[in-house]
């Protein structure tokens, strides 16, 4: 199954292609919102999905620790001395056709087949499974403002990715439909503007704090203590503490409908075009085309309430077919498919 279709709850690859080919006029979508299932309609039909849309921690159960403070206190301290560095790959002498570098140990393990629509399987199970399996995920720290400018919003989204460079396009996935849009989606649909900020080690706690379930109109900026910085092409603020930020304008949206419960809206995909970038001077090279990971110190999302820290990397050049063929490395491997496939 393609990664994109996994992230957005579809088992059909063509669904993702359709998303990228269809431009949805947000004004028309918003006009049709009244005909969609609202949360009060969905909750009796699928309580778990309804609670996910409200991001209810009690129902989703991302946090497995009854007393997190006690668990946290028993763990080792953060190690600031661990900085970004490069290491070798597991098998630097790997050759074409060798397969996995674990000596076949992975092949000894059994796989379990999972039907996402199995009778009695709550939607929340798929959510928890996918966020623990599709890792690490970049954290899209999204800033928006209301149409009248009276309130501002800041929230992290791990259903975020860059999908094109010309034009620069990014995707953000939202749980729930337009009829029950949370602050970020409501603001993005109304103003068609946002900023996407990359989360670094230096403000991880503050970024996580913005996931608080505050009522609409309460700004996460104030609760986090982060610093709003002005933008050039959009009216909402970027995060000044962010090493890399993107000014974005809404390109298109696609609303998803449940396959298990037809008529129920379960998610929205927003495609955002980057119209201006902001990079911290000490992280940027002279050509303005590379960001230093040692300065960026990016944090990623894992399963549950876990975040990932990036301190190690390895490099692998893309192989050249003609070179490999000329060296004899492809001998016996030039076939249309694997034997017995």
Distance, in Å, from the CA atom of 312 to the CA atom of 85, rounded to the nearest integer, reads: 5
Predicted pLDDT of residue 61? 80
Predicted pLDDT of residue 260? 83
Cα atoms found within 13 Å of the Cα of residue 39, Cβ hemisphere only: 15
| Cα dihedral sign, 29-254-24-54 | positive
CA dihedral angle for residue 38, residue 40, residue 46, residue 51, rounded to 10 degrees: 90
Question: To which H or E segment does residue 301 belong?
Answer: strand 299-301
Predicted pLDDT of residue 33? 35
Predicted pLDDT of residue 36? 35
Question: Quick one: which of 287, 266, 330 has its CA closest to 96?
Answer: 330
Predicted pLDDT of residue 99? 96
User: Tens place of pLDDT for every residue, the chain, 341 residues?
Assistant: 333 333 333 334 344 334 344 333 333 333 333 333 333 333 333 433 333 444 566 777 888 888 999 999 999 999 999 999 999 999 999 999 999 999 999 999 999 999 999 999 998 899 999 999 999 999 999 999 999 999 999 999 999 999 999 999 999 999 999 998 989 999 999 999 999 999 999 999 999 999 998 887 788 999 999 999 999 999 999 999 999 999 999 999 999 999 888 899 999 999 999 999 999 999 999 999 999 999 999 999 999 999 999 999 999 999 999 999 999 999 999 999 999 99
Predicted pLDDT of residue 249? 98
What pTM, to 2 d.p., does this model score?
Answer: 0.82
Strands 312-313 and 85-86: parallel
């Amino acid at each position: 199954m393609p990664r994109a279709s996994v992230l957005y709850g579809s088992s059909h690859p063509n669904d993702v292609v359709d998303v990228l080919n269809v431009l949805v006029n947000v004004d028309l979508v918003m006009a049709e919102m009244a005909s969609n299932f609202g949360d009060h309609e969905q909750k009796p039909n699928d309580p778990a999905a309804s609670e996910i849309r409200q991001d209810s921690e009690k129902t989703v159960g991302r946090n497995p620790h009854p007393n997190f403070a006690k668990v946290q206190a028993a763990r080792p301290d953060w190690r600031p001395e661990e900085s970004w560095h490069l290491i070798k790959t597991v098998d630097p002498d790997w050759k074409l056709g060798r397969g996995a570098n674990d000596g076949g140990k992975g092949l000894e393990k059994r796989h379990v087949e999972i039907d996402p629509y199995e009778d009695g399987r709550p939607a929340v199970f798929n959510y928890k499974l996918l966020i623990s399996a599709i890792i690490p995920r970049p954290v899209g720290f999204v800033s928006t403002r209301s149409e009248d400018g009276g309130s501002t919003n800041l929230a992290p989204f791990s259903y975020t990715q860059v999908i094109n460079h010309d034009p620069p396009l990014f995707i953000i996935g939202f749980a729930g439909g337009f009829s029950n849009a949370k602050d970020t989606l409501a603001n993005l649909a109304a103003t068609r503007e946002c900023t996407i900020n990359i989360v670094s080690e230096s403000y991880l706690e503050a970024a996580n704090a913005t996931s608080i379930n505050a009522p609409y109109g309460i700004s996460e900026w104030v609760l986090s203590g982060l610093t709003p910085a002005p933008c050039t092409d959009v009216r909402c603020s970027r995060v000044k503490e962010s090493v890399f930020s993107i000014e974005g304008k809404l390109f298109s949206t696609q609303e998803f409908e449940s396959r298990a419960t037809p008529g129920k809206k379960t998610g929205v995909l927003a495609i955002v075009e980057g119209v201006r970038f902001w990079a911290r001077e000490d992280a940027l090279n002279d050509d303005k085309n590379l960001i230093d990971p040692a300065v960026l110190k990016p944090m990623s999302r894992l399963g549950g309430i876990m975040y990932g820290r990036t301190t190690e990397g390895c490099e692998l050049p893309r192989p050249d077919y003609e070179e490999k063929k000329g060296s004899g490395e492809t001998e016996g491997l030039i076939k249309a498919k694997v034997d017995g496939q």
